[in-house]
Amino acid sequence: MRVIGKRVRRIDAIEKAFGKAKFTNDLSFPRMLHAAVVYPGVAHGVLRSLDVSEALKAPGVVAIATYKNVPNNEMGIVTKDMHVLVPVGGKIRFEADPIAIIAAETREAAEEATSLVNFDVEELQPVLTIDEALRDDPIVNGERNVAFQRKIRRGDIEKGFQESDLILEMDFETGYQEHAYLEPQSIIALWDGDNLTIYGSMQCPFYVHNDVAEVLKLPLNRVTVIQMETGGGFGGKEDVPSYIAVKAALLSYLTKRPVKLVYNRDMDFRETSKRHPSKSHYKVGFTKDGKIKAVKAAVYLDMGAYSTLTPIVMYRSLTHAASAYDVENIFVDVYGVYTNKVPTGAFRGFGSPQVLFAMERVMDEAAKRLGMDPWEIRYKNALEIGKATATGHVLEESVGAKETLEIVREISDYERLKEEVRKFNEGNKYKKRGLGWAHTIYGVSLGAAGQPLDASSGEVHVKMDGTVLVMIGGTEMGQGAKTVMALIVSEILGVDVDNVRVMQPNTSIVQDSGPTVASRTTVFSGNAIRIAAERIRDNIIEYLKSKGVEDIKIENGYWIADGKEIPFSEIAREANAANVKLAEMGWFSTPKLNFDFETGTGEAYVSYTFSTQLSLVEVDLLTGKVELKEAWVSHDIGKVLNPVGAEGQVEGGVVQGMGYAISEEIKHDENGRMLTTNFNNYIVPTIRDIPRVHVKFAESPFSKGPFGAKGLGEPSLMSSPPSIANAVTDALGILINRLPITPEEVLLKL
Scored b (16 or more CB within 10 A) or e, 198-216 reads: bbbbbbbbbbbbbbbbbbb
Q: Is 262 strand, coil or helix?
A: strand
Whole-number pLDDT of residue 558: 82
Walking along the chain (750 residues) 10 residues at a time, the average pLDDT comes out as 92 94 97 98 98 98 98 96 98 98 98 98 98 98 97 98 98 98 98 97 97 98 97 97 98 98 98 98 98 98 98 97 98 98 97 98 98 98 98 98 98 98 98 98 94 93 97 94 97 95 96 92 96 98 95 86 92 96 96 95 97 98 98 98 96 98 98 97 96 97 96 95 98 96 94
Whole-number pLDDT of residue 288: 98
User: 47: burial class by Cβ within 10 Å (0-12, 13-18, 19+)?
Assistant: buried
Whole-number pLDDT of residue 215: 98
The sheet carrying 431-444 orders its strands as: 431-444, 607-620, 626-636, 692-695
Whether 576 and 582 have beta carbons less than 8 Å apart is answered as yes
The Cα–Cα gap between 45 and 229 comes to 38
CATH class, domain 13-20+450-589, is alpha beta
Whole-number pLDDT of residue 272: 98
Whole-number pLDDT of residue 605: 97
Q: Closest Cα partner for 596 from 399, 444, 449, 743?
A: 449
Half-sphere exposure of 10 (CA within 13 A, CB side): 18
The DSSP bridge pattern shows strands 166-174 and 738-739 to be parallel
CATH match for 278-448+596-749 among 3.30.365.10, 3.30.420.40, 3.20.20.410, 3.40.50.720:
3.30.365.10
User: Can you give the pTM of this predicted structure?
Assistant: 0.97
Q: Enumerate the domain spans of the chain.
A: 13-20+450-589, 278-448+596-749
For residue 261, the surrounding DSSP H or E stretch is: strand 259-262
Whether 434 and 374 have beta carbons less than 8 Å apart is answered as no
| Counts for the chain of helices (H) and strands (E), in that order | 20, 31
State whether the Cα torsion 694-700-705-708 is positive or negative: positive
